[in-house]
């Protein structure tokens, strides 16, 4: 009897180990297998000691200033895995894996290198210092609760190519009370439109490819987006307008064109963004008041665990657009935590800042908190920029002020900062009550504006360093 229980116990143990050690990769549609592939890298993954699985290396376009075809691969896993990467078209001299907080040290052998992952990660893998033809690797958690394709409340996109057909504007129109599932290996050539709907859950491991926008959420509530990737839309990856109760989780995007922001929101409230990787040729995350057909301020926006890479413009941009036809909008209660900024490149000195808080269009921007923000050396720009502005191109009047902003545990390593700028507009429209707690530049704690190369202009009050 004891032997029988021992055998049963061993079977259960082996089954649990097998379940805990799982790798899932997804096929690319056969009709696209040569069209969207990048041969710069070959990527494989396996459970420790298991059989190698080949991953598909997608081509993703990056950096509008100098367009390049970078690579992207992704898979799901649990337990611990080993990743093997080969650089195919040049001699491998050096490998850098970012963000640095991931603390991944590859083992190099010839043109191949390996490393271990024991939890989901979003990584930029840069060989020989090349950040434009690099490999983006997304190691996702295993999906749970995959919906039934036959469920009438599910819009199911299985593996393969999906196009909207004769619908105008290449749009998949999503009704209320639906789960929209993009299975791994599904590629959609069209945006998902949620307009005046509620209770929509968009999720999966599929890709929205070269659509006008990736996901558009307007005049809607209780919408979630999880797990999908948007590649090279001609406008925003996720477009939010006058919506509330929106959750975005494990989302990835790439863009390489004018006005191709990552996640932009106008007149939205209660927006939660978690675990995202955004590499865009414009702002990565932008928060505004009124714009176009959307009215009202924005409030209660929380961003946590984000990797932001702005090949052009700002990683974080808050406050510029509002409504000058009446008393103005309020943009308030914004929180960014655990953010890694990998790039910021903006030639226009009037539009710089890894973190840009520019109040325009009679906006009042207040009660913002930034904590545990890690900024790598960037190509050109400023660390932070806090101003009340009247921009001749983008606004129709100045803002009302920027106030009550806390920066805690901010670190920057590099030498490209043009000097952060702070300025109000006049004696009534000021920047005030700004606190820096544990600001570090190149490992040095900063206790005054001069040490940080901060340029303090007129109508600025109460900047505090702790």
Q: Clarify whether residues 258 and 380 are in a common domain.
A: yes
Interacting residues of 190 by C-beta distance below 8 A, sequence separation 6+: 162, 163, 164, 167, 170, 171, 172, 208, 211
Helix boundaries (H) for 101-195: none
Q: What is the dihedral of CA 168, 174, 175, 177, to 10 degrees?
A: 180
pLDDT of the residue at 166: 57
Asked if residue 39 belongs to a domain, the reply is: yes
Asked if residue 313 belongs to a domain, the reply is: yes
Asked if residue 135 belongs to a domain, the reply is: no
381-430 pLDDT, tens digit each = 999 999 999 988 889 999 999 999 999 999 999 999 999 999 999 999 99
Q: Is 357 exposed, middle or buried (0-12, 13-18, 19+ CB in 10 A)?
A: buried
Q: Clarify whether residues 248 and 118 are in a common domain.
A: no
Taking 50 as the threshold, does the pLDDT of residue 125 lie above it? Answer: yes
Largest Cα–Cα distance of the chain, in whole Å?
Answer: 87
Number of independent structural domains in the chain: 2
210-252 pLDDT, tens digit each = 999 999 999 999 999 999 999 999 999 999 999 999 999 999 9
**Residues 207 and 187: beta-carbon distance below 8 Å:** yes
Residue 296's CATH number: 2.160.20.10
> Measured between alpha carbons, how far is 186 from 31 in angstroms, rounded to an integer?
12
Asked if residue 106 belongs to a domain, the reply is: yes
Residue 110 phi/psi, 5° resolution? 65, -125
> Measured between alpha carbons, how far is 138 from 119 in angstroms, rounded to an integer?
11
Domain stop point among 126, 156, 173? 126
Q: What is the pTM of this model?
A: 0.94
> Measured between alpha carbons, how far is 264 from 239 in angstroms, rounded to an integer?
5
Residue 70's CATH number: 2.60.350.10
Q: Which residues pair with 380 in a beta bridge?
A: 345
What Å distances lie between residue 381 and 400, 406, 461, CA to CA? 25, 21, 24
* Residue 451: strand, helix, or coil: helix
Residues constituting the chain: 466
**Mean pLDDT of the region 19-44:** 92
pLDDT of the residue at 165: 77
Could you tell me the two tokens for 59? 């081509």
Least confident window among 8-12, 85-89, 457-461 = 8-12
Confidence of residue 12 (pLDDT cuts 50, 70, 90): very low
Asked if residue 222 belongs to a domain, the reply is: no
Q: Clarify whether residues 116 and 243 are in a common domain.
A: no
**Residues 94 and 129: beta-carbon distance below 8 Å:** yes
Full domain range(s) for residue 435: 235-465
Q: What is the CA radius of gyration of the chain?
A: 23
Asked if residue 224 belongs to a domain, the reply is: no
**Residues 174 and 201: beta-carbon distance below 8 Å:** no
Domain stop point among 126, 150, 184? 126
Interacting residues of 337 by C-beta distance below 8 A, sequence separation 6+: 302, 303, 304, 305, 369, 370, 371, 372
The dihedral through the CA atoms of 403, 267, 282, 408 has a sign that is: positive
pLDDT of the residue at 391: 84
> Measured between alpha carbons, how far is 359 from 403 in angstroms, rounded to an integer?
10
Interacting residues of 73 by C-beta distance below 8 A, sequence separation 6+: 41, 43, 55, 56, 57, 58, 135, 136, 137, 138
pLDDT of the residue at 402: 98
Taking 70 as the threshold, does the pLDDT of residue 2 lie above it? Answer: no
128-144 pLDDT, tens digit each = 999 999 999 999 999 99
**Mean pLDDT of the region 97-101:** 98
Asked if residue 180 belongs to a domain, the reply is: no
Domain stop point among 126, 154, 180? 126
Could you tell me the two tokens for 247? 């959750």
Taking 90 as the threshold, does the pLDDT of residue 14 lie above it? Answer: no
Q: Clarify whether residues 368 and 251 are in a common domain.
A: yes
Confidence of residue 327 (pLDDT cuts 50, 70, 90): confident
Could you tell me the two tokens for 365? 């921007």
> Measured between alpha carbons, how far is 125 from 293 in angstroms, rounded to an integer?
40
**Mean pLDDT of the region 172-191:** 97
What Å distances lie between residue 316 and 280, 337, 384, 462, CA to CA? 11, 12, 10, 23
Asked if residue 160 belongs to a domain, the reply is: no
pLDDT of the residue at 15: 38
Mean pLDDT in the chain?
Answer: 94
Confidence of residue 20 (pLDDT cuts 50, 70, 90): low
């Amino acid at each position: 009897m004891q032997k029988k229980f021992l055998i049963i116990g061993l079977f259960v143990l082996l089954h649990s180990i097998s379940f805990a050690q799982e790798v899932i990769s997804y096929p690319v549609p056969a009709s696209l297998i040569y069209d969207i592939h990048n041969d710069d890298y070959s990527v494989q993954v396996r459970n420790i000691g298991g059989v190698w699985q080949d991953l598909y290396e997608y081509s993703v376009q990056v950096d509008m200033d100098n367009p390049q075809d970078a690579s992207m691969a992704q898979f799901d896993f649990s337990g611990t895995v080993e990743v093997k990467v080969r650089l195919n078209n040049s001699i491998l001299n050096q490998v850098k894996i970012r963000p640095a907080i991931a603390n991944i040290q590859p083992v190099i052998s010839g043109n191949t290198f390996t490393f271990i992952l024991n939890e989901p990660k979003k990584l930029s893998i840069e060989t020989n210092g090349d950040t434009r033809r690099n490999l983006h690797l997304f190691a996702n958690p295993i999906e749970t609760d995959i919906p039934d394709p036959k469920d009438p409340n599910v819009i199911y996109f299985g593996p393969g190519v999906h196009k909207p057909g004769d619908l105008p504007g290449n749009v998949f129109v999503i009704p209320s009370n639906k789960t929209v599932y993009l299975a791994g290996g599904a590629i959609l050539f069209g945006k998902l439109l949620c307009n005046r709907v509620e209770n929509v859950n968009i999720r999966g491991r599929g890709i929205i490819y070269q659509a006008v926008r990736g996901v558009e959420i307007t005049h809607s509530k209780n919408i979630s987006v999880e797990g999908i990737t948007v590649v090279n839309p001609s406008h925003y990856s996720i477009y939010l307008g006058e919506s509330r109760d929106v959750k975005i989780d494990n989302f990835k995007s790439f863009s390489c064109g004018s006005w191709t922001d990552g996640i932009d929101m106008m007149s939205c409230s209660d927006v939660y963004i978690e675990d995202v990787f955004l590499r865009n040729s414009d702002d990565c995350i932008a928060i505004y008041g009124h714009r176009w057909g959307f009215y009202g301020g924005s409030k209660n926006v929380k961003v946590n665990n984000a990797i932001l890479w702005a090949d052009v413009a700002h990683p974080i941009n808050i406050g510029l657009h509002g409504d000058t036809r009446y008393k103005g909008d309020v943009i308030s209660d914004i929180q960014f935590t655990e953010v890694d900024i990998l790039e910021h490149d903006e030639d226009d000195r009037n539009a710089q800042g890894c973190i840009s808080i520019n109040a325009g269009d009679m906006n009042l921007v207040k009660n913002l908190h930034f904590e545990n923000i890690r900024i790598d050396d960037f190509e050109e720009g400023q660390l932070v920029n806090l101003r009340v502005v009247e921009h001749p191109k983008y606004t129709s009047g100045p803002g009302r002020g920027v106030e009550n902003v806390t920066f805690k545990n901010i670190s920057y390593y590099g030498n490209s900062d043009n000097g952060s700028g702070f300025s109000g507009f006049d004696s009534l429209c000021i920047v005030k009550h700004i606190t820096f707690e544990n600001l570090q530049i190149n490992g040095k704690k900063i206790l005054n504006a001069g040490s940080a190369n901060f340029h303090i202009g007129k109508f600025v009050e109460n900047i505090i360093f702790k």
